[in-house]
Structure 1
Amino acid sequence: MHQDRIDAAMSFPMEHVASKYASRMDVSIEVARGIVEELRRYLLLLATHGAENYNIPAGDVDDMWHIFLLFSADYRAFCDRLGAGFIDHAPLPDEEIDSPRVQSNYRRLLLDYEATFGEKPPRHIWPTPR
């Protein structure tokens, strides 16, 4: 992945998203900023590898994504900056969450994360697959 694309994602202003998340979820702004960073990385991976290739468990990153979607113009601008078009949020049906395909996609995400960013995903945000 080109460093300029990573820089574009990581430098996109999202302080207002972190602030809204911190307020809604009753966490510190520092915690919210860490989750924003993980959301940026996740969306960058989706833009690069395709949304059909990954699934994430319900949790902090998914919750932050929901908050980011409330700022629709900013979300659209972020997607445009990544150069991959609008990234849809499509929740999985409950009966698919534990399927082998979904678990395989999640494992692939964790591997691609490490390959792209040169570090393991933080386990407190990205749990070990089942």
Structure 2
Amino acid sequence: MDYILNKKGIKRPTLDEVLAYDNNILVEKFSATYSCDTSVSKFIFNETKKLFWLFNESNFDKFGNLSIDDSLIILDEMWHTFILFTKDYSTFCHDLFGYYIHHKPTSELEKDTYIKEINSLSKKELLEKKSNEKRPQYEYIYDKLGEETFKTWYLELNEKLNIEGSISIKNITLKDI
């Protein structure tokens, strides 16, 4: 999944400014949808706000497109929930970044093409391909948001919340993350 943007009037808020945004109704909706503790939803929302900030920063750094891979799927789910609150999401984007961050899901054709491609590779080739594709994004996240966020996104969230490709956060508390 990628994001699309209109580059006119881009703002460059600090990470703290983005993290200062709160939306309790969104957090409650996410908690109800995924049967999880509100503190977990707040935590996931904060991580999602970091992702939005990173999308914006990548424009200034001319990094290119960041993608949401399997490890970040829970952040994508929070993004989906936020988009449902259309006015809040639009205001958040415009006030903080100066533009609306559009969500572009991966199409079935894109998924099928990728699956065919990786199925034709040996294990060694597949590991090399994944490493080459993901390394720049991993390094960018690590450099911009630090080791703690990198570990949270790529080790802890995946381990705790994404079990065999399905999201299961029921009965997870913040101390579990």
Query: TM-score, normalised to structure 2's length?
Result: 0.59
Query: Percent identity between the aligned chains?
Result: 21
User: Are 1:79 and 2:93 counterparts?
Assistant: yes
Change (3 A) 1:96 1:110: farther
Within-5 A mapping of 1:36-75: 36-50=45-59, 53-58=65-70, 59-75=73-89
Alpha-carbon distance in 2 for matches of 1:22, 1:82: 25
Counterpart in the other structure of 1:118:
146
Which protein has the larger Cα radius of gyration, Structure 1 or Structure 2?
2
Matched, 1:33 2:42: yes
Which structure is richer in relative contact order (CA contacts within 8 A, separation 6 or more)?
A: 2
Contact 2:18 2:50 in 1 (8 A): yes
Can you list the C-alpha shifts for 1:41-84, whole angstroms capped at 9, x where unaligned? Answer: 11111112149511112521111000000111111121123324
The runs of 5 or more residues in structure 2 that have no matched partner are 1-11, 119-128, 160-177
SS at match of 1:40: helix
Residue ranges of structure 1 left out of the alignment (5+ in a row): none
Range moving further from structure 2, 43-52 or 68-77: 43-52
Partner AA of 2:104 in structure 1 = A
Distance in 2 between residues matched to 1:82 and 1:46, nearest whole Å: 12
Change (3 A) 1:125 1:83: same
Count of residues in correspondence between the two structures: 123
Question: CA 1:66–1:77 in structure 2 vs 1: closer, same or farther (change >3 Å)?
Answer: same
Q: Is the 8 A contact 1:10 1:41 kept in 2?
A: yes
Deviates more, 1:40-49 or 1:3-12: 3-12
SS of the residue 2:56 aligns to: helix
